[in-house]
Structure 1
Amino acid sequence: MSDKSERLQKVMAEAGIASRRACEKIITEGRVRVNGRIVTELGTRVRKGRDRIEVDNQLITAEPLKVIVLNKPRGVVSTANDPEGRETVVDLVKDAGGRLFPVGRLDYNTSGALLLTNDGDLAHALTHPKFGAEKTYHMKVDGRVTEEVLEQWRTGVTLDDFSRTRPAKEVFIAESTDGFTWLQITIREGKNRQIRRMAEATGLRVSKLKRIAFAGITIEKLPIGTWRHLSEQEMYRLKRDYINPARRSLGKSPVSPHTDAENDGAAAAQTHRRQQRSARVPRGWGGTSEPAFKSRTGEPKSRTGESTAPQKPKTRAPSRPKTSQRATGPARPRPGKKTPNKA
């Protein structure tokens, strides 16, 4: 218990009720009671562990931060509950303990990395476009993909509602045959069904879509339908990049949207040039099998994050042979020195 008071909306967000802004709305709607009294003032301060806080007549308690990553299967709904009675991602993580809710959504037919947390501020920051959380996908499409299509993804795609996406931070062909093409794509925004809509807008037919990483958290070696706790290093990065900036100011972004969009385009072009210099597909993509997680340079990564691609031996340039004289011909007289006249 603590005698230190904090703003009510902050305590609610830390308890996983919603983001801080959403909690402010809940307070002003008169849905919160503190010690039995309805509170509507946003400046209300409470003491965690001492004051009794109820939201919609449900007692809330402050919990330690918890974040897990789930390898979501296809055919599972990315919500806490479903009116149609379908299986949800929360059903798959019941043994994680405590109250958890998904960070954003994955389509019903899309599999892969989905974070779940009990922290509303973290969920808000990870899904807000200002914070630019990276999402990396493997996408299998029918037929071949042209360079013109890839260039559209690198510069931004106009969707069916006439909105335009930001440039993809990374997009390249991992494997291609006459029947299908595997693409790896990294974006920094999360419009509704964005990857599928970008594919439709550029004439691509998606047969498989999987998110392999979200905000630097991967599902490498995580079986489908299972989950894991984040490592200490992963938790540190989330706190540094998302939780702390969000709590300092939810209205101020650590990333400028306009400057970032320009940087995305430059980064995509630079990545494309690197990939053109090395078009060799690494082992392990296995035809119709799913590609392994890769670094931005296109090289497969080990469990520790180090590149497993063979390193080229360093060779020294051949040294030039030394000559005994700098130049041929008569030596030049030194300045200030007289040369004797020859008879």
Structure 2
Amino acid sequence: MSEPIRLSKRVIELTGCSRREAELYIEGGWVTVNGVVIDEPQFKVLEHKVALLPNASPAPLASVTLLLNLPADMEANAVTLLSAASRWADDQTDIRPLKGHFTHLSSALPLQRQASGLLVFTQDWRTRRKLTDDAAKLEQEYVVEVAGTIAADGLERMRRGLRIKGQELPPAKVSWQNETHLRFPLKNPQPVQIVAMCEAVGLKVLSMKRIRIGGVPMGKLPAGQWRYLAAGERF
């Protein structure tokens, strides 16, 4: 062999499979080149040792959902943080990160404006539909750093439901986490709802972070890193 060829062609020669099956083997992370998994069918090989891992299957890559802890002021560039290098080292799933996991991702349930924290990116149409169709039912929890002195009845007013610029806001189970941080569990909040609620009772928002969507918490996921949604987790 004197000219490099595509890895997919070498897999065809090795297994006798079809071109599509060869691509599925490679994209599924089942093919090694000199002992290293390569998941790009167009990768060029020459005198390399190409092999299939045990239990290899030419099945389409399963759809995945990624949970990202977005740092402050990074919302416009969130997708740039999704790579194999930024996966959380303590991710408890046994999913192998593959190039195909970072394509055709869509986000759902945007953060409050200027907020950081939990963002969801998914390839799974069922997850996307759940987050879209059930947005009004899913509770989103934010931790909000505030400054100023809250009105004497401010907390109770937020719990009963505020009226802001002619709009009635539903009751909210707001509580103090500590002297400077409030917890806001809200269903389908408007883009600037938390800031408006705080200002209505004399508080200024310094920062806010979403820490949970439905039954899925962000937990100890570090800022700027992501993990896979585990099989048993449900929004």
Please state whether the residue corresponding to 2:198 is helix, strand or coil: helix
- Residue equivalent to 1:31: none
Superposed, which structure 2 residues align to 1:51-90 within 5 Å? 64-77=62-75, 87-90=76-79
Is 1:103 the counterpart of 2:105? The answer is no
- Amino-acid identity (%): 30
- Residue equivalent to 2:94: none
Over 3 Å counting, the alpha-carbon distance change for 1:158 and 1:227 in structure 2 is same
- Residue equivalent to 1:134: 139
Please state whether the residue corresponding to 1:175 is helix, strand or coil: coil
Deviation at 1:183, TM superposition (A): 0.8
Deviation at 1:64, TM superposition (A): 3.5
1-structure distance, mates of 2:106, 2:159? 32
- 1:236-289 deviation per Cα after TM superposition (whole angstroms, max 9, x unaligned): x24xxxxxxxxxxxxxxxxxxxxxxxxxxxxxxxxxxxxxxxxxxxxxxxxxxx
- Residue equivalent to 2:160: 155
Query: What's the TM-score, normalizing by structure 2?
Result: 0.60
Over 3 Å counting, the alpha-carbon distance change for 1:203 and 1:125 in structure 2 is farther
Deviation at 1:197, TM superposition (A): 2.1
- 1:54-89 deviation per Cα after TM superposition (whole angstroms, max 9, x unaligned): xxxxxxxx8643211110111112xxxxxxxxx521
- Residue equivalent to 1:123: 128
Does structure 2 conserve the Cα–Cα contact (< 8 Å) formed by 1:71 and 1:225? yes
Please state whether the residue corresponding to 1:233 is helix, strand or coil: coil
Does structure 1 conserve the Cα–Cα contact (< 8 Å) formed by 2:113 and 2:192? no
2-structure distance, mates of 1:122, 1:140? 30
Does structure 1 conserve the Cα–Cα contact (< 8 Å) formed by 2:198 and 2:205? yes
- Residue equivalent to 1:200: 199
More strand as a share of residues: 2
- Residue equivalent to 1:225: 224
Please state whether the residue corresponding to 2:167 is helix, strand or coil: coil
Whose relative contact order is higher, 1 or 2, with alpha carbons under 8 Å and at least 6 apart?
Answer: 2
1-structure distance, mates of 2:149, 2:77? 35
- Residue equivalent to 1:210: 209
Does structure 1 conserve the Cα–Cα contact (< 8 Å) formed by 2:195 and 2:205? yes
- Residue equivalent to 1:80: none
- 1:118-160 deviation per Cα after TM superposition (whole angstroms, max 9, x unaligned): 2345334324566411111111111333451111211212233
Gaps of 5+ in 2: 1-59, 85-100
Please state whether the residue corresponding to 2:178 is helix, strand or coil: strand
Select which of 161, 174, 177 maps to 2:177.
174
Please list every run of at least 4 consecutive aligned residues from structure 1 whose deviation after the TM superposition is greater than 6 angstroms. Answer: none
Q: Higher Cα Rg: structure 1 or 2?
A: 1
Residues paired across the two proteins, number: 160
Over 3 Å counting, the alpha-carbon distance change for 1:143 and 1:182 in structure 2 is same
Over 3 Å counting, the alpha-carbon distance change for 1:199 and 1:172 in structure 2 is same
Over 3 Å counting, the alpha-carbon distance change for 1:212 and 1:101 in structure 2 is same
Does structure 2 conserve the Cα–Cα contact (< 8 Å) formed by 1:129 and 1:189? no
Over 3 Å counting, the alpha-carbon distance change for 1:93 and 1:129 in structure 2 is same
Cα root mean square deviation, aligned:
2.3
- 1:12-71 deviation per Cα after TM superposition (whole angstroms, max 9, x unaligned): xxxxxxxxxxxxxxxxxxxxxxxxxxxxxxxxxxxxxxxxxxxxxxxxxx8643211110
Query: Residue type matched to 2:80 in 1?
Result: D
Gaps of 5+ in 1: 1-61, 78-86, 239-343
2-structure distance, mates of 1:147, 1:124? 42
1-structure distance, mates of 2:227, 2:135? 27
Is 1:91 the counterpart of 2:80? The answer is yes
- 1:176-210 deviation per Cα after TM superposition (whole angstroms, max 9, x unaligned): 2xxxx211110112212221122223332101111
1-structure distance, mates of 2:178, 2:161? 23
